[in-house]
Amino acid sequence: MVAVSGAAVFALCTAGSSLGVRWMIDNVVVARFEKGSVTVATVVAACLLIITISAVRAAGVVVRRTFAGRTEWGVAEKLGVQVVKRFADQPVAWHRRHQTGDLVARANVDVEAAVAVLAPLPYGSSVVLLLVASAIGLTVMDVVLGPWPWSCSRCSSS
């Protein structure tokens, strides 16, 4: 859950960074060309805004990757212990029919395959949230830019 929360922070900061850049362009770049000058406070505010969004976004990545890894390997450890216990419960005759290295290799591969599905889940959830946030943002800013079938001029003319 913590990894998914970090992924959500990353996705929202990624979508929100465009708003920060927009504010900076409107209040620093455009203002400089139109008025001929910009206050130092405005430039500092723009820089701090971009740096803050970037730092929070980076923190989201660190949280996502750290806790996704911890979860994945925690589950792998628990499954590995269960596999070893299951091997230990087998009778001696069963162990004599199987090579030790073969059992260990198969157990390791099975555990890795079982937990491999966990790694992309937080990242995938952030991609979905990023798509939703971007679609909402586009629609709020300009309905024509929004990702809706009725906003496509080529779609309605056919």
- Please enumerate in sequence order all residues whose Cβ is within 8 A of that of 88, keeping only pairs 6 or more positions apart, or say none: none
- Please enumerate in sequence order all residues whose Cβ is within 8 A of that of 31, keeping only pairs 6 or more positions apart, or say none: 38, 42
Half-sphere exposure (Cβ direction) of 149: Cα atoms closer than 13 Å: 2
* Residue ranges of domains in the chain: 2-141
Q: Is 92 exposed, middle or buried (0-12, 13-18, 19+ CB in 10 A)?
A: exposed
- Please enumerate in sequence order all residues whose Cβ is within 8 A of that of 13, keeping only pairs 6 or more positions apart, or say none: 53, 54, 56, 57, 60
Per-residue model confidence as pLDDT tens for the chain (158 residues): 899 999 999 999 999 998 899 999 999 999 999 998 999 999 999 999 999 999 999 999 999 999 999 999 999 999 989 988 888 888 988 888 888 788 888 888 888 888 988 888 898 999 999 999 988 888 888 777 666 655 555 555 54
Smallest Cα–Cα separation from 65: which of 130, 2, 129, 128? 2
pLDDT at 99: 83
pLDDT at 75: 92
Smallest Cα–Cα separation from 15: which of 123, 128, 124? 128
